[in-house]
Amino acid sequence: MTHRPDSPVEHAVDGRFADRTVIVTGSTRGIGAAIAERFVAEGANVVVSGRDTGRGEAVVEQITDASTADTAGAATFVRADMRKPDDIAALAEAAAESYGGVDVLVNNAAVQTETAVDGATLDDWEFVLETDFRGYWLAARAALSHMDRGAIINVSSNHATATMPAHFPYNAVKAGVNGMTRAMALDLGPAVRVNTVTPGWIEVDRTREELAEGQFAAVESIHPTGRIGVPADVAGAVAFLASPDAAFITGSSVLVDGGRGAVMQDDTLPDYRALAEREDE
């Protein structure tokens, strides 16, 4: 079967981000926590952030325990609600005060509502747009005041290009994030590169909740990789885009979806999960 990373640090490059400071918003669980862990493993000083102090401190402890290499960086937690501009400004200030500046910002914080276009309320609209869209812009603006050169990675979603019913305004906002990335890349270059990572199906708590009993294997079977993603897959793509290996990449969107974006009709597909299992026999 296609290799599934056991942890975010499995393919970490020792010392790649030594003496660099990274802010990861929405990193108290799931994809954000994996991104934070990957950067620390590669030598960065990482600011974990989110609204839940208990979860945030637990992630810092987990990262510290997992990163035992001499080249590993450090992690600290700063509570921040991405709907509150003052919190966002304070987050960037705290990163600069703790570690001397900001080199990488990963905009990952996101919320979604299970609402349709004709059922969403103004509260739904404001909840998603202020967190997933306005928060990205404000975080970038705050980080820039402490950033000489660096990179911004905006985490979007495959809902930006193809979606499902009752995912509004999340799907509209994610399309907007991709457009924001292009705008930022033009306005902030050449000192700061800005790119988007666009995850597809990733195995996090929300994914398990969305899939009915017995449906998980069916979803894996329609991925050309023979599996859905794990947070470590996204963390690897983010680390690459922040690294010198991506020095000539800006304004781009990297689709991390196990090949789902290449599919036209599901009914033409083989069972990729079964094929991968046979290859392992």
Above 80 in pLDDT, residue 189? yes
Lowest average pLDDT, out of 26-30, 114-118, 201-205, goes to: 201-205
Structure tokens at 69: 């290499």
Structural contact between residues 168 and 121, judged by C-beta atoms closer than 8 angstroms: no
CA distance 260 to 250: 23
Name the residue ranges covered by the structural domains of the chain: 21-204+230-257
Average pLDDT in the 152-164 region? 95
pLDDT reported for residue 68? 67
Above 90 in pLDDT, residue 277? no
pLDDT reported for residue 210? 75
pLDDT reported for residue 215? 87
Q: Tell me which of 1.10.3720.10, 2.60.40.420, 3.40.50.720, 3.30.1490.100 is the CATH number of domain 21-204+230-257.
A: 3.40.50.720
* Three-state SS at 239: helix
Percent of the chain with pLDDT over 70: 98
Average pLDDT in the 154-158 region? 97
pLDDT reported for residue 158? 94
CA distance 253 to 156: 9
Most confident of 5-19, 53-67, 189-203: 189-203
Which residue did the predictor score with more confidence, 211 or 179? Answer: 179
pLDDT reported for residue 126? 97
For the question of residue 99 being annotated catalytic, the response is: no
pLDDT reported for residue 227? 92
CA distance 25 to 81: 9
pLDDT digits (tens, 9 = 90+) for 59-105: 999 998 877 667 789 999 999 999 999 999 999 999 999 999 999 99
pLDDT reported for residue 9? 87
Structural contact between residues 171 and 112, judged by C-beta atoms closer than 8 angstroms: no
Above 90 in pLDDT, residue 57? yes
Lowest average pLDDT, out of 21-35, 131-145, 210-224, goes to: 210-224
Which residue did the predictor score with more confidence, 153 or 3? Answer: 153
> What does the H/E/C string look like for 165-220?
CCCCCHHHHHHHHHHHHHHHHHHHCCCEEEEEEEECCECCHHHHHHCCCCHHHHHH
Which residue did the predictor score with more confidence, 175 or 66? Answer: 175
